[in-house]
Amino acid sequence: MSDKSGHDAAQIGALEERHLFQNYGRRKIVLVRGQGCYVYDDQGKQYLDFISGIGVNALGHGHARVIEALCDQAGTLIHCSNLYAHPYQGPLAEKLTRLSGLDRAYFCNSGAEAIETALKIAKGYGRSKSPDKTGIVALDNSFAGRTLGAVSVTGQPKYRQPFEPLIPDVKFVDANHLAGLEAAVSDKTAAIMFEPILGEGGIMRITREFAQKAADLAQQHDALLLLDEIQCGLGRTGEYFTFQTWNDGESAAIRPDIVTLAKPLGGGMPIGAVLASDRAANVLSPGMHGSTFGGNALACRIALEVLDVLDEILPRVRETGAHFQKRLSELVDKYDFVSEVRGCGLMRGLNLTAPGKSVVPAMAEKGFLMNCTAGTVLRFLPPYIVEPEHIDQLVEALEQLFDAGPPAEA
C-alpha cells in the first residue's frame, strides 16, 4: 500500500486513467511524502526536488513553521468569506505592498485568477479613459495560465488555438525587441504586460532596457505596466521581486502599476495575489470583482509565515543561486550540446542544442525531479532551502547522462 487511501501505484494509475480528465501528461511516479528538499514515492525511493511543485514549495517540504501555522490556524478559523474581516488579510497586504512599493493588494487562489483580475483592471482602466482604449500588449512565448482571459494573453499558439475566438485586441511582440514593442503600443493600449523572466517560455530574462522602454511607453500612452511575477517573484531570483533586480542604482527604478503573484506565496497552499498602485486598484469599486475563497484565513496566515521565513533566507538564495550559476556554466564549457545557462537566483534554465525532454525521466531514474520547457530548456526551480551540495549532486548526475552524448529525441 502506498498511502492512507489503501491503493497501490498500479491501482492509483488505473483509477486516474479511467476517471480523471486526461489533460495532463503525468509521470507514473506516485509521491507520498516530502521532507526538506526531498520527496519520496510509494516505493520509498528518494528524489531531490529541483522543481518544487513548479516553483510552489519555496520552503521545501514539511517546514516546521509552515506546519505549525497550518495546524494552529486549521483549528482556529479556516475560512469566513470576504463578507467579513479576519486577522491576516490586512497584515499580508501591508507586508506585500511595503516590499513591492505598490499601494494595495487583492487575494485570490491561483495564478490564472490573479491574471484575470489584472486584465479586468487593465480593461476597466482603459475604458475609463476612452471606449476604444482596450488593447493589451503581451509577449510571444509568454505563459499566463489556463483560464480564457489568461490564454488570451498567452503568446503560444498551442494553448490558444483550440479555444479561439479569445479576448480581442491583444498584440504579441518579441521579448527584448524594443522596436517591436514601440510599434505595438499606442494610445489604444490599456496595458503592457510581461513576465520579468519568461518561465514556461524557456527561462528568458527580460533586459533592463526592454523593461525601461515598456515603462516609458506605458507612461507616454497612459497605459498600465503589468508584471507577471507568478513564477519569478517572491524571492526566487534573490530579491523579493524580479523587477527589483533591474535597479542599477543609477537610473530611476522601474515601477510597475500591477504585479501578479501566486506560486510560492502559500508554501504549497493555493493563494494568489495582485498588487497595484492606487490608480490601478481604484478601478475596481465594491461589487466589481471578488472571490469566495480568495484570501481566506488559513491561506493568508501561512503566506505571512512564508514571508517571515523569506526575510531570513533571502541572502542565502543569492548565494546558492550564484553557486548554481557557476556549476551549470561548467556544463556549458564541458559539453558542446549544452549552450547556455539562463535565469537568475534559483530560477535556472540550461539550454541544449538538442531536445531536452528525455533528460527528465532519466534524471527521475537517478533520483532528481526537474522538468523541460520550450523543447530544449532544462528547468530547475528548487526550494529556497536547497544546499550547495544538492546542486553539486544534480550537476554530477547531469554529467553522468551527458557523458553518454546529447539526449535522445523523446
Ligand X SMILES: *Cc1c(COP(=O)(O)O)cnc(C)c1O
The three three-digit cell numbers of residue 72, written as one number: 494552529
Of the candidate spans 141-149, 238-246, 314-322, 341-349, the one that interacts with ligand X by CB under 6 A turns out to be 141-149
Residue number, nearest CB to ligand X: 111
For position 371 contacting ligand X by CB under 6 A, the verdict is: no
Smallest separation, CB 2 to ligand X (Å): 26
DSSP 249-311: SSSPPP--SEEEE-GGGGBTB--EEEEE-HHHHTTS-TTSS--SSTT-HHHHHHHHHHHHHHH
Of the candidate spans 45-53, 140-148, 274-282, 319-327, the one that interacts with ligand X by CB under 6 A turns out to be 140-148
Task: Give the residue, chosen from 42, 49, 195, 257, that forms a contact with ligand X under the rule CB under 6 A.
Answer: 195
Window 212-231: residues binding ligand X (CB under 6 A): 228, 230-231
Count interface residues toward ligand X (CB under 6 A): 14
Window 245-304: residues binding ligand X (CB under 6 A): 262-263
For position 239 contacting ligand X by CB under 6 A, the verdict is: no
For position 144 contacting ligand X by CB under 6 A, the verdict is: yes
Smallest separation, CB 257 to ligand X (Å): 17
For position 111 contacting ligand X by CB under 6 A, the verdict is: yes
Residue whose C-alpha cell reads 498500479 in the numeric block? 10
115 or 217: CB nearest ligand X: 115
181 or 193: CB nearest ligand X: 193
For position 199 contacting ligand X by CB under 6 A, the verdict is: yes
Task: Give the residue, chosen from 34, 53, 135, 145, that forms a contact with ligand X under the rule CB under 6 A.
Answer: 145
Helix, strand counts (H, E) of the chain: 13, 17
**3-class state of residue 111 by DSSP:** helix
DSSP 207-235: PHHHHHHHHHHHHHTT-EEEEE-TTTTTT
- What is the CA 316 to chain-centroid distance, rounded? 20
How many Cα atoms are found within 13 Å in the side-chain-facing hemisphere of 396? 9
Q: Interface residues with ligand X (CB under 6 A)?
A: 110-112, 115, 143-145, 195, 199, 228, 230-231, 262-263
